[in-house]
């Protein structure tokens, strides 16, 4: 159960707790990753939102203001990236709150936000969340390791097989779907 949910920008004091939470899960998310995110946040290249429930780290996401996906970068579309909610906090609206904050921040600078989603079953809850929030495919098809997948090409179904989605935003607002 999520109590006293707080969502705010990443701070130095969060780095150790975040890295430790993912180490316990066996996920490769070292402290150096969060140190880089914090540095990029200070430089204005990335924004990072973290969620805490009763002081316990629950999840985070980042906004990359100049993403690597060429169609987003060329169109000036910020991309929500590296969106993670710890398993024990899932289905408790932590992800929805993080997305609300990200969409609000993006809406102050852009009319459109983008996000990439993996296609393996592990990403099923994220796929559903994004659709319920109004994200639609960008119309460019699948990518694998950052490259378009052409018809007939065999590619591995791994964390780098993705579909990119976009959402039109209203300035200064976010969309909260009660089902998400």
Quickly list DSSP for 94-160.
HHHHHHHHHHHHHHTT-SEEEEEEE-SGGGHHHHHHHHHTT-EEEEEEEEETTEEPPTT-----STT
Q: How are beta strands 112-118 and 79-85 bridged, if at all?
A: parallel
Q: Are 48 and 41 in contact (CB under 8 A)?
A: yes
Output the CATH code of domain 5-168: 3.40.630.30
0.85 surpassed by pTM? yes
Per-residue pLDDT of the chain (180 residues; tens, 9 = 90+): 678 999 999 999 999 999 999 999 999 999 999 999 999 999 999 999 999 999 999 999 999 999 999 999 999 999 999 999 999 999 889 999 999 999 999 999 999 999 999 999 989 999 999 999 999 999 999 999 888 999 999 999 998 999 999 999 986 555 544 344
Domain ranges of the chain: 5-168
Q: What is the pLDDT of residue 146?
A: 83
Q: What is the pLDDT of residue 135?
A: 98
Sign of the torsion angle spanned by Cα atoms 30, 127, 112, 155: positive
């Amino acid at each position: 159960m999520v109590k006293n949910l707080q969502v705010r920008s990443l701070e130095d004091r969060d780095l150790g707790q975040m890295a430790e939470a993912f180490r316990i899960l066996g996920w490769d998310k070292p402290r150096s990753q969060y140190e880089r995110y914090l540095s990029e946040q200070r430089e204005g290249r990335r924004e990072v939102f973290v969620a805490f429930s009763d002081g316990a780290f629950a999840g985070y996401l980042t906004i990359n203001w100049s993403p690597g996906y060429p169609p987003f970068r060329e169109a000036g579309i910020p991309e929500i990236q590296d969106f993670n909610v710890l398993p024990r906090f899932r289905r408790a609206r932590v992800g929805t709150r993080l997305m609300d904050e990200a969409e609000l921040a993006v809406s102050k600078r852009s009319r459109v936000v983008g996000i990439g989603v993996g296609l393996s079953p592990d990403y099923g809850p994220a796929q559903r969340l994004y659709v319920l929030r109004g994200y639609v495919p960008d119309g460019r098809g699948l990518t694998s390791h950052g490259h378009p997948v052409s018809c007939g090409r065999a590619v591995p179904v791994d964390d780098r097989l993705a579909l990119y989605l976009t959402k039109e935003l209203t300035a200064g607002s976010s969309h909260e779907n009660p089902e998400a």
